[in-house]
Amino acid sequence: MSFPIVELGEVVDFKGGGTPSRDKLDYWGGDIPWATVKDFNDGHVIRTTQEFITSEGLEQSASNLIPAGTVIIPTRMALGKAVVTEVDLAINQDLKAVFPSEKIDARYLLWYFIANASKIEAMGKGATVKGVTLEQLRKLKFPFVPLSDQRRIAALLDKASAICVKRREVILKLDLLVRTLFVDMFGDPLSNSKGWPIFKLEELVQFTGGSQPPKSVFVDSPRPGYVRLVQIRDFRTDKYPTYIPDDLARRRFEKTDVMIGRYGPPVFQIFRGMEGSYNVALMKAEPKEKLLPDYLFYMLKNYSVQRSVIASSQRSAGQTGVNLEFLHGIEVGTPPVSLQEKFASAVVALDAQREVYVRSESKANVLLNSLKYQMFAGKL
């Protein structure tokens, strides 16, 4: 079935926002939620905001009060994102509220923006901060299907998205369970509440930094991947991929290796499950005889260790990075290897459960993406 295609500006209106004067204290701290792109962090909804303004601040600014149920998109920074607000709120100048005509379903409109995220992001212009104009948005092609079909399509996508969310929630709960198990078995590594023998990290772990080969050695071959911070932040080695020959990959890591992102934000990011060669922004943490890899991984991810290392981080050449001298000198309680082995066995079992849900989430995302494509290719 084919649907008529119209320009988006024919079926929606846009309303912008503004920022009350920061010099007027009476404009801030009221009971009106005031949204910025910083509040686009809870899936595709906004339930609350980081800042609030007063009625006077709303009246004395270019901001507008947007009713609950309205789709909101950024036109500057965070391009491609879209949310629907669950509360009445005001918006700043980087956001636009999108009001559909009576022939357009709001949920269908939301999914339209989600499905076209990459297109809208690519439209952005600007040297440092990219933005799009209302003229650009109004010219977007919009599949104008009957209202009953819009609601059916939106409900179908809502259901597929809910499955993805539930899978992700289970994965997060399993991750939390492992961290809780670590604390139950070993206590806090720094305060050493269990009274284990104390060692400095440099006695327990070999930290190996990465190398920085010249650009001239990079090739098109798919092995091995050269992993950088920009990739581990999204845990994707296929993001901005680059490769170097095997014989020049002096710093290699495998999926079982514990790796550290030295610079931030976020600084001191602990990860594993990827492989490739790595540059100077990363380092490998290899346990010595008193530690097992599973224990090392969750010990470095422990809240108290993370907080301590991040608090001691140093700023150099415009970047905040791990203070290696401080890291080496951290003293931690070290439980017997036999107890670490019990923990590792539990981790293996929980990881097996986690993998089931990871695969299920991946399939659910594939289905959701397929449905989004079919919807806006006129296939449904």
* C-alpha torsion 149→153→155→160, nearest 10: 160
- Give the model's confidence band at 317: pLDDT under 50 very low, under 70 low, under 90 confident, else very high: low
CB-CB contact of 202 with 330 (8 Å): no
Task: State mean pLDDT over 67-74.
Answer: 96
The size of the chain, in residues, is: 380
Q: For residue 81, what are the contacts with CB-CB under 8 A and spacing of at least 6?
A: 37, 40, 73, 74, 117
- Give the model's confidence band at 350: pLDDT under 50 very low, under 70 low, under 90 confident, else very high: very high
pLDDT for residue 253: 78
Task: State mean pLDDT over 346-352.
Answer: 93
The half-sphere exposure of 287 on its side-chain side, counting CA atoms within 13 A, is 18
Q: Measure Cα distances from 264 to 101, 213, 273, 280 in Å.
A: 44, 21, 20, 13
Q: What is the DSSP letter of 213?
A: -
Q: What is the pLDDT of residues 95-121, one digit of tens each?
A: 999 999 999 999 999 999 999 988 999
User: In the chain, what's the furthest Cα-to-Cα distance?
Assistant: 72
Task: State mean pLDDT over 291-313.
Answer: 94
Tell me the two tokens of residue 9.
């500006």
Q: What is the pTM of this model?
A: 0.70
pLDDT, the chain, mean: 86
Nearest alpha-carbon partner for 36 in 102, 80, 89, 88:
89
Locus of tokens 């952005």: 124
Q: For residue 10, what are the contacts with CB-CB under 8 A and spacing of at least 6?
A: 142
Torsion-angle region of residue 49: left (phi > 0), alpha (psi -120 to 50) or beta? Answer: beta
Q: For 23, phi and psi rounded to 5 degrees?
A: -80, -15
Helix (H, G, I), strand (E, B) or coil at 10: helix
pLDDT for residue 233: 52
* C-alpha torsion 101→38→131→95, nearest 10: 30
Q: What is the pLDDT of residues 3-42, one digit of tens each?
A: 788 999 999 999 999 999 999 999 999 999 999 999 987 6
Q: Is the pLDDT of residue 331 over 50?
A: yes
Is the N-terminal amide bond of 265 cis, ω within 30° of 0? Answer: yes
CB-CB contact of 106 with 100 (8 Å): yes
